[in-house]
Amino acid sequence: MTLLRIEHLSKSFDGVKAVHDVSFSLEAGRLLALIGPNGAGKSTCFNMINGQLRPDAGSILLDGKSIAGKHPRDIWRLGVGRTFQVAATFNSMTVLENVQMALLSHERRIFNLLSRVASWREDEAMMLLDLVGMSMHARRSCAVLAYGDVKRVELAVALANRPKLLLMDEPTAGMAPEERNALMALTARLAKERNIGVLFTEHSMDVVFEYADTLIVLARGELIAQGNANAIRNDPHVREVYLGTGASFSPHAALERGAAQ
């Protein structure tokens, strides 16, 4: 069954159609990139799927069941994980404690004292940290980690909930190109291995073309194209939308521009 099916989704803010009649679907184990210029409606789409916004119209089906308008916590419990939110990790805790906390909340345990966390699920938490290449940093405080490493801990935290679907809104914002590639390569590998569907937005076209199985292009709230990297790269309507936005559209464009400067 299709993991995520979006049909005729719409949302307006004060008469402005942020998302208008958008339909698409995502299969388990696949990476789908939502791209488009600033203000295209990407985050609004994400926030309807994760429950932060209620759609004005349309349906959102996870494994065939409607999740539109449900509480974010209930959507999370149904297996929709989010990464890369501000303050997704707690700086006052170690890397390991952050992942243990996530495992505990997955089990819906109630606990009051952090000291009680210490021995819970340590092996499983370490296994998740190993998966994202962070086990050697397990005992360090999250506050001292490099930016790219925080993102990897956030990925481990999201995986603790055993998500079916991962939503990543600009996961690599602020990262250097090499870090971006490493994070997305890791995400793509985990998506395949764990059969997780990944929906992500990303500004770097190089990253999108490299890692997305399918791309969806939004412009002014409307879906204007969808297809694989080749189809999107050569779509005249998409090129037109991107003209003048400053975004490089061929993987080589940025290099060529850089060389010309």
Q: Binding partner of residue 18 among Mg ion, ligand ADP, none, CB under 5 to 8 Å per kind?
A: ligand ADP
Amino acid sitting at position 146? A
Rounded CA separation 240/29 (Å): 31
> Least distance to Mg ion from the beta carbon of 21, Å?
19
Q: How far is the CB of 194 from Mg ion (least distance, A)?
A: 26
Nearer to ligand ADP, 22 or 125 (CB): 22
CB 43 within 8 A of CB 169: yes
x-or-dash string of contact with ligand ADP, 8-27, rule CB under 6 A: -----x--x-x---------
**Least distance to ligand ADP, CB of residue 176, Å:** 22
Q: Could you tell me which stretch among 35-43, 57-65, 101-109, 245-253 binds ligand ADP (CB under 6 A)? A: 35-43
Q: Any contact of residue 47 with Mg ion (CB under 5 A)?
A: no
Applying CB under 5 A, among 43, 161, 172, 214 the residue interacting with Mg ion is: 43
Least separation in angstroms between CB 169 and ligand ADP:
7
Binding mask 44-83 for ligand ADP (x = CB under 6 A): x---------------------------------------
Nearest approach in angstroms of CB 133 to ligand ADP is 29
- The span from the first CA to the last CA of the chain, in angstroms, equals 50
Nearest distance, CB of residue 39 and ligand ADP, angstroms: 4
Which of 121, 190, 181 has the alpha carbon at shortest distance from 158? 190
Site for Mg ion, rule CB under 5 A: 42-43
Site for ligand ADP, rule CB under 6 A: 13, 16, 18, 36, 38-44
